[in-house]
């Protein structure tokens, strides 16, 4: 299942060259073209899934073990001090390429990068209401 108009389909399947770190039957891992830190990489499934909502379970179960493996190798090789996994879905969440991908972002004590999550200010009552909305 590939989308002819999708650049990540072309990269994942080798039609467009990339700086590949790893490849298997299901995934290609490439260096991000505009890295936020040294070693910033992307896990791309070879099949086209627009986002997490559409991701097939058979691929989903392989994605986190691969992220774990890449984090270990990259931490060893790059000597980073920590690691972020980021995965954006839909424009409002910062997705710009609509082919599911996971960002692998090595972090360094001196990287001066800010991947900010700031609290939106919810009361305990707000949290109770949110929980009910999700669980009910």
Catalytically active residues, by annotation? 101
Say if residues 3 and 15 touch (Cβ distance below 8 Å): no
Task: Tell me, residue by residue from 39 to 68, as one string, x for binding to Zn ion by CB under 5 A and - for no binding.
Answer: ---------x--------------------
Task: Tell me, residue by residue from 65 to 104, as one string, x for binding to ligand AMP by CB under 6 A and - for no binding.
Answer: -----------------------x-----xxxx-------
Say if residues 37 and 108 touch (Cβ distance below 8 Å): yes
6 belongs to the binding site for Zn ion (CB under 5 A): yes
Give dist(CA 132, CA 134) in Å, integer: 5
- Give the pairing type, strands 27-31 and 102-107: unpaired
7 belongs to the binding site for ligand AMP (CB under 6 A): yes
Give dist(CA 79, CA 6) in Å, integer: 34
Work out what residue 96 binds among Zn ion, ligand AMP, none; the CB cut-off runs from 5 to 8 Å by kind: ligand AMP
């Amino acid at each position: 299942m590939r989308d002819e108009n999708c650049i990540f389909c072309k990269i994942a399947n080798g039609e467009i060259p990339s700086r590949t770190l790893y490849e298997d039957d299901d995934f290609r891992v490439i260096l991000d073209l505009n890295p936020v830190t040294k070693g910033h990489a992307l896990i791309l499934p070879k099949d086209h899934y627009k986002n997490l909502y559409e991701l097939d379970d058979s691929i989903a179960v392989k994605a986190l073990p691969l992220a774990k493996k890449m984090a270990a190798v990259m931490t060893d090789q790059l000597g980073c001090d920590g690691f972020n996994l980021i995965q954006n879905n839909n424009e409002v969440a910062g997705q710009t390429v609509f082919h599911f991908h996971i960002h692998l972002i090595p972090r360094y004590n001196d990287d001066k990068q800010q991947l900010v999550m700031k609290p939106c200010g919810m009361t305990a009552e707000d949290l109770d209401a949110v929980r009910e909305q999700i669980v009910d």
